Amino acid sequence: MSQTKQVSPFVEPWQASPRAKAIVAVVVAVVVVLSAATYVVQRIWLTPESTVEGYFAALEDRDVTKASSYIKDSSTSTADIVKSDQYVPPTKLKIDKIEGDDAKTAKVSFFIGDKQVSGSIPLHHKDELTLGLFRGWGINGDTPSIQISTAAPVDVQINGKPLPDDAKESRQLNVFPGRYVVSVVENQLLESAPLTIDAGFGANEALLEPKIKASAQAAAETQVKDYLNGCAAKNVETCPFRTEITKAVWKIDTLPTIELRIADDGAVVVETKSSGKATVTGTGYGGYPVNESPTFTVTGRLTVDQGQVKFQPES
């Protein structure tokens, strides 16, 4: 007769097989490695310090796309301005202190050329996750700005480039930290000394004071002289001197002295500073000979026609 195997009323403890132990060890190792990697990424690579350093490194490379990626609600409209040789990026960044909890502020200093500037950069946790796991830091978009104004309505440029479309009317644009050169757009009538703006923080103003070029003054004087000599020869109605006598013969004794002025609409106006003098001879009423010496003035505007400065007399 076979013996019946006795069943223990107690649950036998589970004994892991060597294979199961190996799997558990691998899983634990993977968890430890991932945890360590997460810590390294979050605490070393995605820190407020790394964000500020990456931002300034992108500016030093003139990489507007990358620099903009660090800033909330940023724009790449100033890309051509930053890529210009006239742009001087900030260097020698020093992060003095990081303050705050969820919203932080970086106290920094850096150089623009040989000028040191310092200030605060506001930071925030990004809404989107990096690799679906990590929450990095971004800059709040508190970038410096430049407000350009002129003493006369003329076209302006920055770093030799036109203003972005969104700044053409207001002439105020947000820029990245760095050095910029503001100037009047090159033309044959007006010029202005360029202004260098070191934009580190906050609002910066650039006031241009255009003036008339010496070459425009010289062209105006030559063309006014030619115009008056032509008037003396033809005695047409558009000339600044006229007479009712018959068989009039004009001779200009003294040319008027002219001066140029920038009008409120930006036009270059020609005005008389001191009157000219002419002599006219001919036949007057009753057939008597006439010899008169009237004074006269001349007015008009300077324009540019097909690349040439042109005097337009006022009719």
pLDDT tens-digit profile, the chain (315 residues): 555 555 555 555 556 566 554 555 555 444 444 444 344 444 454 699 999 999 999 999 999 999 999 998 778 899 999 999 999 999 999 999 999 887 899 999 999 999 999 999 999 887 655 544 456 899 988 899 999 999 888 899 999 999 999 899 999 999 999 999 999 998 899 999 999 999 999 999 999 999 999 999 999 999 999 999 998 888 666 788 878 888 888 899 999 999 999 998 889 999 999 999 999 998 888 788 889 899 999 999 999 998 899 999 986
**Complete DSSP assignment for 245-307:** SEEEEEEEEEPPEEEEEE-TTS-EEEEEEE-EEEEEEEE-GGG-EEEE--EE---EEEEEETT
From 154, 306, 311, select the one nearest 217 (Cα to Cα): 311
End-to-end CA distance of the chain: 141
